[in-house]
């Protein structure tokens, strides 16, 4: 059973590159979607929520396709500090805020 599926990577990209991560989720009734960032041996931290209309926060753009049950994260002009694991997160219980975390996609930005 895979509620949320992500390509584990690793993605190794040069500084300044654009990189995209994708994620699919299984529950068509899911209502909220997020991308979290987790640094090595640290706790996950909220990067951004994902809205149906798509949303942008600086160099980061998130998109949601409900019909295909697909979420994406685009990082433009990658920085060394973007190196981390990116977790796709979806609520799976209708009416409750229980979040299911994907296993993550590892990104390394190379100088």
Partner 1 sequence: NAGVTQTPKFQVLKTGQSMTLQCAQDMNHNSMYWYRQDPGMGLRLIYYSASEGTTDKGEVPNGYNVSRLNKREFSLRLESAAPSQTSVYFCASSITGVGYGYTFGSGTRLTVV
Cα separation of 40 and 61, whole Å? 23
Among 18, 31, 52, 65, binds partner 1 (CB under 8 A): 31
Cα separation of 59 and 21, whole Å? 14
The tokens describing 32, both together, are 């909220």
The answer to whether the peptide bond before residue 28 is cis (omega within 30 degrees of 0) is: no
Q: How far is CA 111 from CA 6, 8, 74, 78, 82, in A?
A: 25, 22, 19, 10, 12
Considering beta carbons, is residue 25 or 36 the nearer one to partner 1? 36
The answer to whether 9 contacts partner 1 (rule: CB under 8 A) is no
Considering beta carbons, is residue 103 or 108 the nearer one to partner 1? 103
Considering beta carbons, is residue 35 or 78 the nearer one to partner 1? 35
2 and 99 Cβ atoms separated by less than 8 Å: no
Considering beta carbons, is residue 74 or 99 the nearer one to partner 1? 99
Scanning residues 65 to 104, which ones bind partner 1 (CB under 8 A)?
87, 89, 91, 95-104
Among 24, 26, 27, 49, binds partner 1 (CB under 8 A): 49
Contacts with partner 1 by CB under 8 A lie at 31-32, 34, 36, 42-46, 49, 87, 89, 91, 95-104
């Amino acid at each position: 059973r895979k509620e949320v599926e992500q390509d584990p990577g690793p993605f190794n990209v040069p500084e300044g590159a654009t990189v995209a991560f994708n994620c699919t989720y299984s529950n068509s009734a899911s209502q909220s979607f997020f991308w979290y960032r987790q640094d090595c041996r640290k706790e996950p931290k909220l990067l951004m929520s994902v809205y149906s209309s798509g949303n942008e926060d600086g160099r980061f753009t998130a998109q949601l396709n409900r019909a295909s049950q697909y979420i994406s994260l685009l990082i433009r002009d990658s920085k060394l500090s973007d190196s981390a694991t990116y977790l796709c997160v979806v609520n799976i219980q209708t009416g409750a805020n229980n979040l299911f975390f994907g296993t993550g996609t590892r990104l390394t930005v190379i100088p």
